[in-house]
Structure 1
């Protein structure tokens, strides 16, 4: 897929060669030579065969890898399961199915940890780093590459350390942290040179050249690209040579040396054509189109651009077909797994139904015996319970009748007490009315006598009149009246003060007399005031109670 080249062609080639080495590849196998009855050795061979088909026939590779996984699980061959999961993770990564790729790599990691296979665990972590970068989680990608590096350092695996350095350096390059990128690539280069690993050295030289090209240090980048190509030629790595030539052509184009750029790219095109690498052929035509366009040869530029478009469409169609085939394989495998699970669940359900039915029949028989033996006892207990309930009902009924009778007696007594208090209140009221009437008459007569008396007698009579007035207003019998009133009309004064807090004692008395529904004349007589003064007092009380003009003071107080 095109995604493989997003990371850099040489970098991914190193990854593929490094990963496959862990599985010790063998010559191609035929499907007929693989039998599920064979042991772990045949499972490994099936995994290796799937690895050989990974790039050319990913759908077939997936089916073989999945078959190897099933065989390993059936044989309880843990290392075979781990290798199969890792191969599936690699395959799905290169086909862009990142979620399932990561799931398989995580399964492989778990199994490698159980087996303590740290060398393969390091390789697995580096692959997880690639997947995390592909799904745009660079921090997680860096974390996994660093964990792989720590494992390799612990094992003193120089090749693994160098490879991890290259991965980390490539990440820093993508983040444009060129100082760190060059630092890690230089570490990788030193190790590969010590190991005399030409392919690894060529890959790192190409990576360093790419960083320098990003920094626009073209001459230095060209030097590294040329070194990389020479090492690739020594290692007979044709694909790496093509990549290097394309990089050199890019440098010539960017520095304005178009003739050299065209010549170099043509060399890459010729080599790619001999190899039959359609992707590299397409890439070379695209570069030639740009280079001819810069020289003003638009006809040649157009021809190469059209060739690039045609090849690109064919590659895209091929990749799409491969992806569809892979997805179909994924679907088929998933469908088979679902069918197996359904059959297993159906079998479990059938067994459960048989057990349940057998147990149910036995249980029903036992329950029938128990119910039959206890039925009489249950009937007898129900009869006794009903008799007890009847007795309790009769006792409760008698108790409720007694309570009702006591309640009626208490209500009768309370009514009698209330009538007595009302009579007492009425008597008090009549007494006050009679007394005040007498005092009022006496006051009138004394006023008449004052007109003919001498000065000294006038003073005495006037003093007597004042004493009578005070007696009318302040008589202690008002206290007795209030006590009796509160017994009859409970909470009246409290409710009254809630309506108007700033009431005088005279206004409170007026309100209590209105509550007794007495006529205005009798109220004036009891209070010792005239009818006009009573009207004024009623008006003031009504105002304090915040009643509207049309509201009745008497109705308000009677309903209070």
Structure 2
């Protein structure tokens, strides 16, 4: 645990400047709220509660943000419809962040009713988009598309280009989840174009999404292009979250391309950024909670000076809050330690998997090479033997013919016919093919069985012979010489064989055979 607290202290020192800035913002907003309350201006009080809620939302303390937004609603009356709709949308978004989608829809539907009644197109468009997001998170994509399309129509009518860009991205994400990648690309491209024209940092996320889609459709070149663009923009805007996403996506793409070293490098960078982000965000949250605690402590001390009879209650509140902070710190410490241990185990398992894959690949290549050497050796031996036998037959035939020529009184016809039969027998292929198939099946015992199973029609013995010769990767000319046919006949036979096999139009027949 010592290393955790050391890192935590280092992180705290690094964030010290930012924490002072956050403190000053909080105290500024708190002072403005107190001033508005003193003035008694209802609308201004609500605005300051919203401002404080936005501050809590920015540091991801959503429960405190919701509390401030509800405080704003409590002081408003029905005359402030636009502000009410806006606050309800903010509460809806906070509940989305807390994954409480049912509660989020409750507030978003209230905002929609107000916006429709008062014709507040901007808030209505935002509410419909957020409502679509809640359904997307729950996997109800039809409902999600319905509300996102309503939002897109409203933003289009209002000519709100930023809103149009955001909703197009949302719709693209839904189609990506549905694996309808062409539609997803269309909406992401529209969003990217608008964000680019607006020079808005929202373009970074869209570029990452485009990279995701191209990776999922196995167009790794385009995937790399868009993800690298996202990475450069994230570096330009100093957006840590988008930097994490870009490195994570690059790791996935490199892994699919077989470049495991690059995949590992980007995965390590991603985890480092994620770890830094974890520290940074939690430090901001803890600093904000500490500021709230300090503020409440000071308010309690002032109350103590005014009302001595409430000392006991104030101390009790401080104690409870201190225990809460202690539990929170302890929980974060345990969570990070456990998470770091699991991530280290994952990296080690990943490295072992890479090593095993490499060893398996080499073993397969070695076996394939041995099989081909054995088969070719057996084939060469057999054909060498055949050549010797035929040469011997030709020599014996020549000798017999010379003897016949020297015996003028003997009728040569019966002997010549006998020689012809012997030559035909020598040229017969059946025994040779039986021995060849015996050799072949020793090397590829499942070839004929698997090929026949995949064929759409029964294969003849001639087609099986052609298939075996193609499996040896012989040329049409070599096959023609072995089968004692013309190369044109081989091409016709290849065509007929191809028609009986489930081969893609662009796939080579030889490549198909090499699968078995």
TM-score by length of 1: 0.50
Q: Kindly indicate whether residue 267 of structure 2 is the aligned counterpart of residue 267 of structure 1.
A: no
Matches within 5 A, 1:426-437: none
User: What SS does structure 2 have at the residue aligned with 1:121?
Assistant: helix
**Alignment match, 2:463:** none
User: What SS does structure 1 have at the residue aligned with 2:202?
Assistant: helix
**Alignment match, 1:189:** 152
**Structure 1 counterpart of 2:90, from 110, 127, 133:** 127
**Structure 1 counterpart of 2:107, from 126, 138, 144:** 144
Q: Which consecutive unaligned segments of at least 5 residues does structure 2 have? A: 1-16, 312-516
Shift of 1:79: 2.2
**Structure 2 counterpart of 1:254, from 212, 216, 225:** 216
Matches within 5 A, 1:135-534: 135-237=98-200, 239-346=201-308
**Alignment match, 1:96:** 60
**Structure 1 counterpart of 2:25, from 39, 57, 61:** 61
Please give the alpha-carbon distance, in whole angstroms, between the structure 1 residues aligned to 2:62 and 2:235.
32
Question: Which digits, 9 at most, give the CA deviation of each residue in 1:291-312, with x for residues without a partner?
Answer: 1111111111111111112222
Shift of 1:314: 1.6
User: What SS does structure 1 have at the residue aligned with 2:57?
Assistant: helix
Residues 55 and 280 (structure 1), Cα distance of their counterparts in 2 relative to 1, 3 Å cut = farther
Residues 55 and 262 (structure 1), Cα distance of their counterparts in 2 relative to 1, 3 Å cut = farther
Residues 204 and 313 (structure 1), Cα distance of their counterparts in 2 relative to 1, 3 Å cut = same
- RMSD (CA atoms): 2.3
Please give the alpha-carbon distance, in whole angstroms, between the structure 2 residues aligned to 1:211 and 1:58.
36
Q: Is the 8 A contact 1:112 1:118 kept in 2?
A: no
**Alignment match, 2:40:** 76
Q: Is the 8 A contact 1:54 1:61 kept in 2?
A: no
Shift of 1:56: 11
Shift of 1:250: 0.3
Please give the alpha-carbon distance, in whole angstroms, between the structure 2 residues aligned to 1:54 and 1:240.
24
Shift of 1:105: 1.3
Residues 301 and 55 (structure 1), Cα distance of their counterparts in 2 relative to 1, 3 Å cut = farther
Residues 80 and 200 (structure 1), Cα distance of their counterparts in 2 relative to 1, 3 Å cut = same
**Alignment match, 2:372:** none
Q: How many residues align?
A: 295
Shift of 1:57: 4.7
Residues 56 and 148 (structure 1), Cα distance of their counterparts in 2 relative to 1, 3 Å cut = farther
Q: Which consecutive unaligned segments of at least 5 residues does structure 1 have? A: 1-52, 350-560
**Alignment match, 1:424:** none
Question: Which digits, 9 at most, give the CA deviation of each residue in 1:106-134, with x for residues without a partner?
Answer: 110011227x2111111111111123333
Q: Is the 8 A contact 2:304 2:310 kept in 1?
A: no
Please give the alpha-carbon distance, in whole angstroms, between the structure 2 residues aligned to 1:307 and 1:297.
16
Q: Is the 8 A contact 1:129 1:144 kept in 2?
A: yes
Q: Is the 8 A contact 1:129 1:140 kept in 2?
A: yes
Please give the alpha-carbon distance, in whole angstroms, between the structure 1 residues aligned to 2:153 and 2:182.
22
Shift of 1:179: 1.3
Residues 301 and 171 (structure 1), Cα distance of their counterparts in 2 relative to 1, 3 Å cut = same
TM-score by length of 2: 0.54
Residues 231 and 136 (structure 1), Cα distance of their counterparts in 2 relative to 1, 3 Å cut = closer
Question: Which digits, 9 at most, give the CA deviation of each residue in 1:507-548, with x for residues without a partner?
Answer: xxxxxxxxxxxxxxxxxxxxxxxxxxxxxxxxxxxxxxxxxx
Q: Is the 8 A contact 1:58 1:91 kept in 2?
A: no
Shift of 1:345: 1.1
Q: Is the 8 A contact 1:245 1:264 kept in 2?
A: yes
Residues 269 and 98 (structure 1), Cα distance of their counterparts in 2 relative to 1, 3 Å cut = closer
Please give the alpha-carbon distance, in whole angstroms, between the structure 2 residues aligned to 1:341 and 1:170.
44
Q: Is the 8 A contact 1:54 1:91 kept in 2?
A: no
Residues 150 and 55 (structure 1), Cα distance of their counterparts in 2 relative to 1, 3 Å cut = farther
Shift of 1:194: 1.4
Shift of 1:136: 3.9
Q: Is the 8 A contact 1:59 1:322 kept in 2?
A: no
User: What SS does structure 2 have at the residue aligned with 1:113?
Assistant: coil
Please give the alpha-carbon distance, in whole angstroms, between the structure 1 residues aligned to 2:23 and 2:278.
16
Question: Which digits, 9 at most, give the CA deviation of each residue in 1:11-52, with x for residues without a partner?
Answer: xxxxxxxxxxxxxxxxxxxxxxxxxxxxxxxxxxxxxxxxxx
Q: Is the 8 A contact 2:210 2:226 kept in 1?
A: yes
Q: Is the 8 A contact 2:207 2:226 kept in 1?
A: yes
Residues 55 and 260 (structure 1), Cα distance of their counterparts in 2 relative to 1, 3 Å cut = farther
**Alignment match, 2:70:** 106
